[in-house]
Amino acid sequence: MVVIGFMGVVSQALAAWWWFQASCYEVPEDVQDLTSELRAIVRLNARAAIAQSLAATSAVILWLTGAYAYQG
């Protein structure tokens, strides 16, 4: 249970960090290839979405196991 909770907290922190990095990403004025710059932003958003998904799954698992443990 502690490992699942820790995994949720870490993945939530990573998601927040990657979304912050994506939102602060600066595209240079003299960019030659805008596609590569957009790909970098997309990679940050994809990593953040995967980390957020792991955090939500961890929360659901903790909730289900906690609800099951206190029923009986």
Query: What residue ranges do the domains of the chain occupy?
Result: 2-25+33-69
pLDDT, mean of residues 46-72 = 85
CA distance 46 to 37: 14
pLDDT digits (tens, 9 = 90+) for 14-49: 999 999 999 999 988 888 989 999 999 999 999 999
* pLDDT-based confidence at residue 71 (cuts at 50, 70, 90): low
Q: What is the pTM of this model?
A: 0.81
Report residue 69's pLDDT band, with 50, 70 and 90 as the boundaries: low
What DSSP line would sit under the chain, residue for residue? Answer: -HHHHHHHHHHHHHHHHHHHHHHT----TT-S-HHHHHHHHHHHHHHHHHHHHHHHHHHHHHHHHHHHHTT-
Cα(60)–Cα(5) distance, rounded to whole angstroms? 10
> Are 54 and 4 within 8 A, CB to CB?
no
